[in-house]
Amino acid sequence: MTYTGSMLMVVAPSGAGKSSLVNALLKQDAGIGLSVSFTTRAPRPGEVNGREYNFLSEAEFLERKEAGDFLEWAKVHGNYYGTSKSWIESQMKNGRDVILEIDWQGARQVQAIIPEAIWIFILPPSIQALEDRLKHRAQDDEATIQKRVAAAKEELTHVAEANYLVINDDFETALAELNHVVLASRLRKNSQLARHQKLAQELGATNNQK
């Protein structure tokens, strides 16, 4: 079955501004649904169960993993994270676009199962800028900051696996670029032919054609 909707995976090191960009995109574009992941990490102040994440115990997570509930899962900074398979399937069946905020391990797994999934990497303008942003997150001590910087650099080693790179130097520019990627994804031939079946029939076009 060809889904008419797009599956967008947004990957970035922490400090690249991923969540702000995705939230702004979701506000502008009602056609996209955000996948709320499952995690064993403890909620941060202000996070609401079911909104930022579905929080659950490690035992519950592993049970769901064994049951095959996750489209992908990964251990990141010592905690488990996973994407709900049933939620993604229900959205895709209804022709909705979905966005996944996941790490590189998850994006790699999804692309192996769903090659049409689009991997967008959000990059800082420079490593220095990334370090500055991470240092300015007031709550953290030096050791935590250094760990974050090391983890961010590790995430960035996977940049060449992505399909699109958006550099978040100027926020509005990066947001506009992200919007363009979404638009381009909706115009892909197979999606368009599945969406406009009558026209496709009139043209004698099938989505198997190259």
Q: Which stretch binds ligand 5GP (CB under 6 A): 80-88, 125-133, 186-194, 202-210?
A: 80-88
Q: At 162, which amino acid appears?
A: A
The nearest distance, CB 180 to ligand 5GP, in angstroms, is 22
At position 62, the amino acid (one-letter code) is L
Binding part of the chain for ligand 5GP, among 75-83, 86-94, 127-135, 183-191 by CB under 6 A, reads: 75-83
Q: Does 156 bind ligand 5GP (CB under 6 A)?
A: no
Q: If binding is defined by CB under 6 A, does position 72 make contact with ligand 5GP?
A: yes
What is the radius of gyration, based on Cα positions, of the chain? 18
Q: Which is nearer to ligand 5GP, 99 or 175 (CB)?
A: 99
Which residue's CB is nearer to ligand 5GP, number 5 or number 82?
82
In SS3 terms, the chain reads as CCCCCCEEEEECCCCCCHHHHHHHHHHHCCCEEECCCEECCCCCCCCCECCCEEECCHHHHHHHHHCCCEEEEEEECCEEEEEEHHHHHHHHHCCCEEEEECCHHHHHHHHHHCCCCEEEEEECCCHHHHHHHHHCCCCCCHHHHHHHHHHHHHHHCCHHHCCEEEECCCHHHHHHHHHHHHHHHHCCHHHHHHHCHHHHHHHCCCCCCC
| Cβ at position 75, least distance to ligand 5GP in Å | 9
**99 is a contact residue toward ligand 5GP (CB under 6 A):** no
- What angle (nearest 5°) sits at the alpha carbon of residue 128, between those of residues 152 and 44? 45
36 binds ligand 5GP, rule: CB under 6 A: no
Judged by CB under 6 A, the stretch of 74-82, 139-147, 183-191, 192-200 that binds ligand 5GP is 74-82
Binding residue for ligand 5GP, selected from 106, 111, 130, 185, defined by CB under 6 A = 106
Residues 4 to 23 in contact with ligand 5GP, rule: CB under 6 A: 14
Binding flag, residue 105, ligand 5GP (CB under 6 A): yes
Choose, by CB under 6 A, the member of 21, 74, 117, 174 that binds ligand 5GP: 74
**Is residue 97 a contact residue for ligand 5GP (CB under 6 A)?**
no
